[in-house]
């Protein structure tokens, strides 16, 4: 953690996710300093029931697939762009009534990554 704070190294994406969860801050804010620091929390129990459940497995799968593709293709993305890609791919994965793994949508993932990197 000290090396991150001193600017000597950059945290891995998986570490950013862990830090964001532990500190209860937005991943986009933590990675890029953009957007609200904290996500809007539901105001009432009813609004919490209406919002879709967070799917940790889907997010972890998206992060893993993106990182593998970047490493395999020798490409990098700035943290702000990674946060955008993660957000879009996660939302795509959970849009369906039966959430699909990012691995099952590899062609879509690869097309998006080629466009942004």
Backbone angles phi, psi at 54, to 5 degrees: -75, 130
CA nearest to 92, candidates 79, 80, 107, 76:
107
Give residue 80's pLDDT. 87
CA distances from 18 to 56, 93, 108 (A): 11, 20, 26
**Between 112 and 7, where is the model more confident?**
112
Q: Report the 10 Å Cβ neighbour count for 5.
A: 7
Closest CA to 61 of 94, 38, 27: 94
For residue 55, what are the contacts with CB-CB under 8 A and spacing of at least 6? 90, 93, 94, 99
Give 76's pLDDT tier (boundaries 50, 70, 90): very high
Q: How confident is the model at residue 45 (pLDDT cuts 50, 70, 90)?
A: very low
pLDDT, average across residues 27-43: 68
Does the model's pTM come out above 0.95?
no
pLDDT grade, residue 100 (50/70/90)? low
Evaluate if residue 85 carries a pLDDT over 80.
yes
In the numeric block, the tokens 């879709």 are attached to 52
All structural domains of the chain with their residue ranges = 2-116
pLDDT of res. 39 = 63
């Amino acid at each position: 953690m000290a090396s991150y704070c001193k600017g000597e190294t950059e945290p891995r994406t998986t570490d950013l996710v862990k830090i964001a969860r532990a500190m209860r801050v937005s991943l986009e804010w933590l990675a890029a300093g953009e957007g609200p620091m904290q996500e809007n929390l539901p105001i009432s129990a009813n609004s919490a029931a209406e919002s879709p459940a967070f799917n940790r497995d889907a997010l972890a799968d998206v992060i893993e697939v993106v990182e593998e593709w970047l490493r395999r293709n020798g490409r990098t993305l700035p943290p702000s762009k990674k946060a955008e890609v993660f957000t879009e791919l996660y939302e795509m994965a959970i849009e369906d009534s039966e959430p699909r793994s990012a691995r099952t949508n590899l062609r879509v993932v690869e097309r998006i990554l080629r466009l942004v990197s």
